[in-house]
Amino acid sequence: MKISDFRAYKAALKKISMVTCYDYTSAMILNSSQIDCVLVGDSAAMTMHGHDSTLPISVEQMSQHTAAVKRGAPSKFIVGDLPFLSYRKSLSENVEAAGEIMRAGAQSVKLEGARGNLELIRHLVNSGIPVMGHLGLTPQSIHQIGGFKVQGKLPPDAEVILDDSLALQKAGCFALVLECVPQALAQKISEALEIPTIGIGAGVGCDGQVLVWQDLLGMNPNFKPKFLRKYADLHQVIQAALNAYDQDVKGLKFPSKEESY
């Protein structure tokens, strides 16, 4: 997939599949799949580093995750997240943060929210950096929002999200993530925009869907939000493999003669 395909998919009513990824080995698997594009999300702060929000991750860490994913999935379109506050500084610092993610191997960056970001988005786009927007539940604002909860349920809040999505399109975003908004609102926004929407917890009316790698593969049995479908139970698969190895080691069944020099 390349940048022009995002609008082309939407025009052809072809849905976009996106998944997050943060490391080389997973990216290698992803590269051999039919998934359209990959997000090196700042959710890495939670899934890879064990934090309880996305706030602690730095531009340097995001660059390292992006570079690892690029090495593993060189043929996929990569979106790299700009982390918390990295794009809320001076214009030159914001551009430098985006440049670092791009130099690490991303083909575009994603940032959260519209208000206060529109000038930067125009500047990045005019500098050759494609920008993906992100509205609805914006995890970098979790302390402002007051928790991981559905956004835009009340008509005035829904109106703000719709207005912001139009503003992001006008500023030059090539696609928009809609996170945890009612299905009807996501559908309305998707119909109002020429750029594709990519939903997570936003219903089937979006132009594409994104899920977090660990969630879609069932790696964390304790995480089960309503919107999530687990396509595997890797927690169980990996745990069983580890226990089988443990038993073999302790029972002198591993390594065998054939597995020894």
Among the listed residues 179, 191, 258, 259, the single catalytic one is 179
Peptide bond into 255 cis (omega under 30): yes
Partner residues linked to 38 by β-bridges: 19, 78
Provide the 10 A C-beta neighbour count for residue 32. Answer: 9
Q: Give the residue at shortest CB distance from ligand KIV.
A: 41
Q: Which two tokens stand for residue 115?
A: 């208000």
When the beta carbons of 21 and 102 are compared against ligand KIV, the nearer one is 21
- The residues that touch ligand KIV, with contacts defined as CB under 6 A, are 20, 39, 41-43, 81, 134, 177, 179, 200, 210, 212
When the beta carbons of 171 and 176 are compared against ligand KIV, the nearer one is 176
Partner residues linked to 18 by β-bridges: 37, 210
- Rounded to a whole number of angstroms, the minimum distance from the CB of residue 140 to ligand KIV is 9
- Rounded to a whole number of angstroms, the minimum distance from the CB of residue 139 to ligand KIV is 7
- Residue 179 among the catalytic residues: yes
Q: Compute the Cα dihedral for 115, 199, 148, 99 and give only its sign.
A: negative
When the beta carbons of 158 and 180 are compared against ligand KIV, the nearer one is 180
- Give the single-character DSSP code of 75: T
Q: Which of 178, 154, 181 has the alpha carbon at shortest distance from 168? A: 178
Whether 48 and 114 have beta carbons less than 8 Å apart is answered as no
When the beta carbons of 102 and 177 are compared against ligand KIV, the nearer one is 177
3-state secondary structure of 40: strand
- Rounded to a whole number of angstroms, the minimum distance from the CB of residue 22 to ligand KIV is 9
Name the residue with tokens 């009340």: 154
3-state secondary structure of 175: strand
When the beta carbons of 12 and 227 are compared against ligand KIV, the nearer one is 227
> Catalytic residue numbers?
179
